[in-house]
A and B are shown apart, each in its own frame.
Chain A
Amino acid sequence: KQEVTQIPAALSVPEGENLVLNCSFTDSAIYNLQWFRQDPGKGLTSLLLIQSSQREQTSGRLNASLDKSSGRSTLYIAASQPGDSATYLCAVDNNDMRFGAGTRLTVKP
């Protein structure tokens, strides 16, 4: 059974810092991995999707990497802003999506 773990559970940084969120998963036979953002009480906003054959994806200040063989992904956020404050969820897809518990990020002005 696929298990997805995200570290750290919470992170607080000053504005402008670069930061890395970590995701690990136990079954490497995945179709893809997605990073989502969730604001309190709200839905899921897809940030980046990395297919199993890919190593990384970039969108603006976000960069996600995937090392399928070791069961790891990282989400790099450059020059963090207070508007980046949210919970970031990692999810892996092998027929259905399994989510991590998320990292709650606070960026202080």
Chain B
Amino acid sequence: EPEVTQTPSHQVTQMGQEVILRCVPISNHLYFYWYRQILGQKVEFLVSFYNNEISEKSEIFDDQFSVERPDGSNFTLKIRSTKLEDSAMYFCASSPTGGIIGEYFGPGTRLTVT
């Protein structure tokens, strides 16, 4: 069964550094999402992406975040200058229909900012 994959599984970075989290959505899906989960807290929506542009973003998704679909398969989340509070699990998801039949989640990337 096709699945969403994410790399790396764990990333450790120093405060102020840039990180890029990578996701390969399911190949025929058209809608892409990033979520994050700070340890012990709720899973929170960050951004949705469709037709090569952001369709919706939350208040968390400020100017230090950006997303890109650089080629036909990858979907990336960049954090420009990481802060300690960016430490979290980041989940990528994709959907063929914009949510009507659900989103498929990747296994997550654990980001640790030191």
Stretch from A14-22, A61-69, A77-85, A92-100 at the B interface = A92-100
Q: By the criterion CB–CB under 8 Å, are A97 and B103 in contact? A: yes
- Closest CB of chain B to A4's CB: distance in Å? 8
**Size range of the interface on B?**
20 to 34
Q: By the criterion CB–CB under 8 Å, are B105 and A43 in contact? A: yes
- The reply to whether the CB of B8 lies closer than 8 angstroms to some CB of chain A is no
- The reply to whether the CB of B96 lies closer than 8 angstroms to some CB of chain A is no
Set of chain A residues within 8 Å of B43, measured between Cβ atoms: 44, 89, 91, 97, 99
Within 8 A of A (CB), among B30-66: 33, 35, 41-45, 48, 55-56, 58
Digit string of A4-42 for contact with B (CB within 8 Å is 1, else 0)? 000000000000000000000000000110101000011
Set of chain B residues within 8 Å of A95, measured between Cβ atoms: 48, 55-56, 98-99
- Closest CB of chain A to B102's CB: distance in Å? 5
Set of chain B residues within 8 Å of A97, measured between Cβ atoms: 33, 35, 43, 45, 93, 99, 103
Set of chain A residues within 8 Å of B107, measured between Cβ atoms: 42-43
Set of chain B residues within 8 Å of A43, measured between Cβ atoms: 89, 91, 105-108
Set of chain A residues within 8 Å of B44, measured between Cβ atoms: 99
Digit string of B77-114 for contact with A (CB within 8 Å is 1, else 0)? 00000000000010101000011111111111010000
Task: Please report A residues at the B interface, Cβ cutoff 8 Å.
Answer: 31-32, 34, 36, 41-44, 46, 49, 51, 89, 91, 93-102
